[in-house]
Structure 1
Amino acid sequence: AVRQRLNVFLQDSFGIECVWEAEDSRGVRFRFQKEPPDLFLLSLELQGERISDLTRDLIRDAPCAILLLEGSSACDVSTVFDCLGQGATDVARLPAHPLTAKPEAWTNLRTRFATLKTLVGRDPGRGLVSTAGDLSGLLDLNSPPIVALGASTGGPKALATILNAFPESFPAAVVIVQHLDAHFYQGLSEWLAHGSRLPVMAVDAPVTLEAGTVYLAARPEHLVISPGDRLSFTREWPELVSRPSIDVLFRSLAEIRGARGVAALMTGMGRDGAEGLLALRRAGFYTIAQDAPSSVVYGMPRVAAEIGAATTVLPLDRIGGRIVEKVQALIGSDRETGTPV
């Protein structure tokens, strides 16, 4: 009955018809071999095997966009991020009582599905992002270096790998935009913190950056940086598919921070972050794009490499070490010139 209600919702909201259903993971594997879909809705309560293992195999054998569905019962947050790390595109919540839910109860699923459908159907064009507000372009050498990271599909696992490479005494502030349903940002910050020597903060209000802390954007609005290393949110650029947008953060950082930082764009669908990474490179940042073999989806980093936004292209297991190396070089340069650190 719940699946029937979901089918009605998809038909009414998007004109999409479900081509097949499966009761368990064995059925999913069989149907995928016979008729692989363009979009696949995967319940986190599906029986038969670990959902993350199933996700990994589906992405490997028949790549498609996978939207995870969280039902009424609470799921293990690590399962969600394991699946996202294996290549699931996004996660959404079903209404608590789908059969009797009012239309507004379907808002979360409608929003996530619309974003997913847009990403699969087209890449947003260039030129949608301008600089974030009236920024001064001031280079503040008294502030710690900033490491800016952007990721989408497959991002949680990539971010965990990179953060694990940072030492406890890491002298930079780390700012992350990961495309995800806002409901799961707090859980993602806790999940990332388990494998990180640095504290990880889910940012949903303005905050001033400090060295040795990881800041994860945790509101469905664009994260920007302003003079004084102040992170805040803006509702400008509502036309952008992803909120928060990696491009918006990177562009604002390029305007404010000058040449003191490192940025990396990792696995993900579409092109968000590529133009912003180019702006950072032109501003003097050392910029990195993840390579194709180690990316779950080689979309965003591919565009970055093609437009010359990346100083270098690296496999995932080398990105963290390279960031540490470049941050240490920045700190060493500051000491040589007598700049406070």
Structure 2
Amino acid sequence: MLVEDSLTARTFLTELIAAEPDMELVGIAEQGEAGVAAAEEKRPDVILMDANMPVMDGFRATRLIMERCPTRIIIFTASYEPSDLRTSMLSLEAGALAIVSKPWGPDHSDYRNSTLRVLETIRTMSEVQVVRRWPPAERPAAAPVIAPLRRNYRMVVMGASTGGPRVLAEILRNLSPRLPTPVCVVQHISPGFVQALVDWLNAECPHTVALARSGQRARPGHVYFAPDDMQLGFAASGDLSLTSDPPENGFRPSISRLFSSAAAVWGDTAIGVLLSGMGQDGAEGCRRLSKAGAPILVQDPASCVVASMPLAAIASSSTSRVLQPALIAAELNGLIGVEGSHAI
């Protein structure tokens, strides 16, 4: 189903989808409120949702659909204005699975690649199981943290893919503002959107969130994200390192690349956190961190939008604890010996 207020975009996307033998467009809505009603009536497999629409934007429409009839939603946008990008990030937190740029028209040099990205995203997300979020009254009770062998952990590395942004936001909001370690993150996300994710999290969390810069010394209490199309790791000095080395597990940036680098440089003073995602990126990195003596926290597959990354790590027997998202921040705070942020 398509929710799009632009006649030009509706026409183009309708023709694009009609040309695919494995896809059928079951409905079209011209604005968010009509999109919510159509989703309840049509029950489509996937919804393509414009981020920026009058009256009801993509975020509010996504939130209502996920409350009333949870559906696989892909947010797309042609605008890189901060307000529109923030709407896209809020939509991911509300339950949308992915965000992509609207495809270019046939006269553009990137027409083929941009249309293939949209079609590939539709096909991939159509296989994802829709997961309801924990209602506030049903959050699991706090569990005891691991009794740490030491309190001098020096680096936290995190990896996430599909379903990761909202879980990252929940964890970072609840990490102590007095966090004595840096946090480095690889989040698989469509090209062009990692800066918007960083900006959104920087406004939402009690920490400084930024894109990593090569040669930078990571500071305690700061969160560093891998930029588009760069491998994030660590130099022997511990400084951040960005390279254009080949993809690993099909990804650049790669979670396993970050985790393996942390294992080599930080050893048992690192902590690894692997969250929701598709594929096996991160499993090998978890194995190497575990072999180096680092604790590994993995999101409970039952709470994941896509569970294959956590399941791959669990299957490798390299995890210390499997936890619901609400408990991961508490576990980290306990491991490093600080109190939580008391954020809601």
TM-score range, shorter chain: 0.7 to 0.9
What is the 5 A alignment of 1:4-153? 4-9=11-16, 17-20=23-26, 21-33=28-40, 36-46=43-53, 49-56=56-63, 58=65, 65-72=72-79, 74=81, 75-94=83-102, 98-99=104-105, 101-105=107-111, 107-108=113-114, 110-111=116-117, 113-114=119-120, 117=123, 145-153=154-162
Match of 2:181? 172
Name which of 273, 277, 286 aligns with 1:264.
273
The TM-score normalised by the length of structure 1 is: 0.76
Once residues 255 and 281 of structure 2 are traced to their aligned partners in structure 1, the CA distance between those partners, rounded to angstroms, is 6
Q: Deviations over 1:85-136 (max 9, x none)?
A: 23323212225xx5564142564453465366457669xxxxxxxxxxxxxx
| Secondary structure of the structure 1 residue equivalent to 2:166 | helix
Q: Deviations over 1:277-324 (max 9, x none)?
A: 232122211111112454333332233234323211112121112112
Match of 1:213? 222
Per-residue deviation, 1:217? 0.9
Q: Deviations over 1:117-174 (max 9, x none)?
A: 457669xxxxxxxxxxxxxxxxxxxx96110111222322211221222333321110
Deviates more, 1:172-181 or 1:1-10: 1-10
Name which of 141, 158, 165 aligns with 2:167.
158
Once residues 208 and 223 of structure 1 are traced to their aligned partners in structure 2, the CA distance between those partners, rounded to angstroms, is 13
- Is the CA contact (8 Å cut-off) linking 1:7 and 1:17 kept in structure 2? no
Deviates more, 1:294-303 or 1:154-163: 294-303
Name which of 317, 327, 338 aligns with 2:326.
317
Residue type of the alignment partner of 1:66: I
Once residues 79 and 270 of structure 2 are traced to their aligned partners in structure 1, the CA distance between those partners, rounded to angstroms, is 43
Once residues 69 and 254 of structure 2 are traced to their aligned partners in structure 1, the CA distance between those partners, rounded to angstroms, is 28
- Is the CA contact (8 Å cut-off) linking 2:160 and 2:274 kept in structure 1? yes
Match of 1:128? none
Residue type of the alignment partner of 1:52: F
Cα 1:11–1:284 change in 2 (3 A) is farther
Once residues 174 and 185 of structure 1 are traced to their aligned partners in structure 2, the CA distance between those partners, rounded to angstroms, is 16
| Secondary structure of the structure 2 residue equivalent to 1:301 | helix
What is the 5 A alignment of 1:295-334? 295-328=304-337
Once residues 204 and 275 of structure 1 are traced to their aligned partners in structure 2, the CA distance between those partners, rounded to angstroms, is 25
Once residues 282 and 18 of structure 2 are traced to their aligned partners in structure 1, the CA distance between those partners, rounded to angstroms, is 32
Once residues 73 and 333 of structure 2 are traced to their aligned partners in structure 1, the CA distance between those partners, rounded to angstroms, is 33
The TM-score normalised by the length of structure 2 is: 0.75
Gaps of 5+ in 2: 1-7, 129-151, 339-344
| Secondary structure of the structure 2 residue equivalent to 1:262 | strand
Once residues 287 and 313 of structure 1 are traced to their aligned partners in structure 2, the CA distance between those partners, rounded to angstroms, is 9
Residue type of the alignment partner of 2:276: T
Identity across matched positions, percent:
28
Cα 1:9–1:205 change in 2 (3 A) is farther
Residue type of the alignment partner of 1:86: A
- Is the CA contact (8 Å cut-off) linking 2:58 and 2:75 kept in structure 1? no
| Secondary structure of the structure 1 residue equivalent to 2:47 | strand
Q: CA RMSD in A?
A: 3.3
